[in-house]
């Protein structure tokens, strides 16, 4: 009988690779691009899985048997301004242009603009694409157009980012 190598035996675990910071950043970018490209495919596969597994119970419902999905809908119907009040709680009342240092782990600098720094950094972080730990506000603007102009200027200077005003 042939001997099995260490990876084929059921009791041995594959050794975990130690990645450099650059490789981690590249992997993070690759995974973000992959998720964006396969969004529609994932939606179809998820719908098929739900159809094939109708008896699946969400672990949140097991932990909280009183969980009522409709209760959230009733609450938001009764309080239509709740989400607006909550999402605009951190609005500044003006626009700022910001820099995120080392956003990709390769010492590049990202430039963007927002009227709500808290929510914007939270959005960057939730997408898993940008390291938002070190950011700085570089300019305060009275209007959105002024912030877009300055952001476009910064991108011309070589800073990374996206500007939909161009």
Which pLDDT belongs to residue 1?
Answer: 46
Task: Please report which residue ranges of the chain form alpha helices under DSSP H.
Answer: 21-37, 39-52, 59-63, 69-78, 82-87, 117-127, 144-156
Residue carrying the six token digits 């992997």: 27
Integer Cα distance of 149 and 166 in angstroms:
9
| Residue 34 forms part of a structural domain | no
Q: How far apart are the first and last CA of the chain?
A: 67
Residue 122 falls within a domain, yes or no? Answer: yes
Read off the tokens for 37: 């490209």
Residue 78 lies in a domain: no
**Does pLDDT of 2 surpass 50?**
no
Residue 118 belongs to some domain of the structure = yes
Tokens 């950011």, located at residue: 135
Distance (Å, whole) CA 29 – CA 37: 12
Mean pLDDT value across residues 24-39: 86
Torsion of CA 109, 112, 118, 124, to 10 degrees: -70
Residue 58 counted as domain residue: no
Q: Is the pTM higher than 0.85?
A: no
More confident residue, 142 or 126: 142
Q: Residue 101, SS3?
A: strand
**Banded model confidence at residue 27, pLDDT cuts 50, 70, 90:** confident
Determine, yes or no, domain membership for 146.
yes
Structural domains in the chain (count)? 1
For residue 3, is pLDDT > 60?
no
Domain that holds residue 99: 91-156
51 within a domain of the structure (yes/no): no
Whether 141 is in a domain gets the answer yes
For residue range 57-104, what is the model confidence (pLDDT) as tens digits? 777 666 666 667 777 788 878 887 776 666 677 778 889 999 988 777
């Amino acid at each position: 009988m042939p001997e099995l190598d260490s990876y084929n035996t059921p009791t041995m675990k594959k050794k975990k690779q130690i990645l450099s910071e650059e490789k981690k950043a590249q992997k993070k970018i690759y995974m973000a691009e992959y998720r964006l490209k396969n969004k529609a495919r994932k939606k179809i596969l998820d719908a098929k899985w739900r159809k094939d597994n109708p008896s699946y119970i969400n672990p949140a419902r097991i932990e909280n048997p009183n969980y009522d999905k409709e209760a959230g809908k009733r609450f938001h119907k009764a309080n239509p301004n709740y989400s607006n009040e909550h999402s605009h709680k951190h609005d500044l009342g003006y626009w700022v242009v910001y820099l995120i240092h080392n956003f990709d782990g390769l010492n590049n600098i990202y430039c963007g603009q927002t009227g709500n720094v808290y929510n914007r950094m939270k959005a960057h972080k939730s997408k898993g694409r940008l390291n938002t730990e070190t950011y700085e506000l570089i300019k305060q603007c009275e209007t959105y157009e002024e912030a877009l102009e300055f952001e476009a200027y910064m991108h011309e200077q070589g800073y990374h980012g996206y500007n939909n005003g161009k």
